[in-house]
Amino acid sequence: MTMQVEKLMHAVFFIAALVSIIAVALICIFLFANGIPAMREIGFLDFLLGQRWAPMNSPPSFGIFPMIVGSIYVTAGAIIIGVPVGVLTAIFLAKYCPAKLYRVVKPAIQLLAGIPSVVYGFFGLMVIVPFIRTYLGGSGYSILSASILLGIMILPTIIGVSESAIRAVPREYYEGAVALGATHERAVFATVVPAATSGILASIILGVGRAIGETMAVVMVAGNQARVPSSILQGVRTMTTNVVLEMGYAYGLHRGSLIATGVILFVFILMINLLFSVLKRRTNYGS
């Protein structure tokens, strides 16, 4: 009797463990089965490299090149803004912050991670967009607005992963440098931080993943024009926002092309994940 229950539950646990595999399989099957035929119909290269997105025209054109470029632009902008601030903040937390202050600062940064993207988007809409409009011109709905907002949003990711990478560096590195007469800054920046490089890189890659996948905050501030922009003050549309903007009323090939946009985004994310896990593995072997 007990043996049977043991065996039964063993099977139950095993099946539960398989659910995540099933989920990934289902997601792949449904996305690819719906997206790839559309890509084939449009023509793979026309879809990826087409400059024109005009699904309602006759004949329609379904080129998502502007969206791919848009995603890359806002992500790059977010990295340029978020990485220096994030990594330096991580260094502050790991190497400067007194314990008492840490007990306040750390939860604050966790709170930054907990704020919903739609609240960030609303904040961007109310503060960042008018600010850019007033001081830099244009409508304010722009690559720059989206980059600033995403830069703030990826801070907690970058700070969290970088901080633990810096903390994982053996104390001896720091002590060795200080014992040779280095200042605190020299010891931290010339010995500790370089030793944490692969962890910090991993944090950046994770940040890239967050930024490229973010939808709601971007849709509220980026202007969403489906064309390749020529200035950071112009509006832009990303792959994620392309889906969310038009999915509500699309049908037929138009719907298929949106799902295909999701497929391309998914492939981007898979590559980023792969890169991340390779780097993470390297960090683990390092320490």
- List the interface residues with another protein, window 193-212 (CB under 8 A): 209, 212
CB of 175 to another protein, least distance (A): 14
Between residue 18 and residue 77, which ones bind another protein under the rule CB under 8 A? 18-21, 23-24, 26-27, 30-31, 34
CB of 59 to another protein, least distance (A): 25
The answer for residues whose C-beta is within 8 angstroms of residue 165's C-beta and 6 or more apart is: 196, 198, 199, 200, 202, 203, 283
Among 60-68, 120-128, 137-145, 225-233, the segment contacting another protein (CB under 8 A)? 120-128
Structural contact between residues 35 and 267, judged by C-beta atoms closer than 8 angstroms:
no
Between residue 249 and residue 268, which ones bind another protein under the rule CB under 8 A? 259, 262, 265-266
CB of 228 to another protein, least distance (A): 22
CB of 266 to another protein, least distance (A): 5
- The smaller minimum CB distance to another protein, of residues 144 and 259, is found at 259
- The smaller minimum CB distance to another protein, of residues 51 and 84, is found at 84
Q: How far is CA 198 from the centre of its chain?
A: 18
- The smaller minimum CB distance to another protein, of residues 42 and 166, is found at 166
- The smaller minimum CB distance to another protein, of residues 231 and 282, is found at 282
- The smaller minimum CB distance to another protein, of residues 51 and 273, is found at 273
Between residue 128 and residue 147, which ones bind another protein under the rule CB under 8 A? none
Task: Give the closest residue to 44 by CA, choosing from 57, 52, 35.
Answer: 35
CB of 32 to another protein, least distance (A): 11
3-state SS of the chain? CHHHHHHHHHHHHHHHHHHHHHHHHHHHHHHHHHHHHHHHHHCHHHHHHCCCEECCCCCCEECCHHHHHHHHHHHHHHHHHHHHHHHHHHHHHHHHCCHHHHHHHHHHHHHHHHCCHHHHHHHHHHHHHHHHHHHHCCCCCCHHHHHHHHHHHCHHHHHHHHHHHHHCCCHHHHHHHHHCCCCHHHHHHHHHHHHCHHHHHHHHHHHHHHHHHCCHHHHHHCECCCCCCCCCCCCECCHHHHHHHHCCCCCHHHHHHHHHHHHHHHHHHHHHHHHHHHHHHHHHHHC
Among 42-50, 59-67, 96-104, 163-171, the segment contacting another protein (CB under 8 A)? 96-104
Radius of gyration from C-alpha coordinates of the chain: 23
Per CB under 8 A, does 108 bind another protein?
yes
Among 41-49, 54-62, 86-94, 225-233, the segment contacting another protein (CB under 8 A)? 86-94
Amino acid letter, residue 83: V
Per CB under 8 A, does 180 bind another protein?
no
- The smaller minimum CB distance to another protein, of residues 84 and 170, is found at 84
Of the residues 119, 136, 179, 278, which one makes contact with another protein according to CB under 8 A: 119
Per CB under 8 A, does 14 bind another protein?
yes
Count the site residues for another protein by CB under 8 A: 85
CB of 51 to another protein, least distance (A): 23
